[in-house]
Amino acid sequence: MKISSRNIFVLLVLAMLQAFFVGAASASPANVLMKELDKDKDGFISLKEAVQHIELLRNFGLIDDDEDGKLTEKELAKSKLTPKVGESNRNVTAALKQ
């Protein structure tokens, strides 16, 4: 079976679009915060880890639905109080310098 260059081009474009949409879907604010703040990679953001993000720390208790002192990606995703990516993403030291 002979594959034309046009067919190869179409397949390549489709593969690139699929990769883009899969990447965009996994880059939710909750996912980005989890990757950025979960330093010990246990799947939770503890209060100790949350101090790196002022807006998240401010709303920690309201986002923590089960009140276990840890935020899951699911809790972050369903809360309207979860900061958007790049929103006041300053560490405590930078805030104190102002």
| AA letter at 56 | L
What are the Cα distances from residue 84, in Å, to 17, 30, 72, 76? 25, 8, 16, 10
pLDDT surpassing 70 at residue 95: no
The pLDDT-based confidence of 85 (bands split at 50, 70, 90) is: low
SS3 10: helix
Strand partners, 46: 70
28-41 confidence digits (pLDDT tens): 888 888 999 999 99
> 0.85 exceeded by the pTM?
no
pLDDT score at 92: 44
Tell me how far apart the alpha carbons of residues 98 and 91 are, in angstroms, rounded to a whole number: 12
* Domains assigned to the chain: 28-97 (1.10.238)
The pLDDT-based confidence of 59 (bands split at 50, 70, 90) is: very high
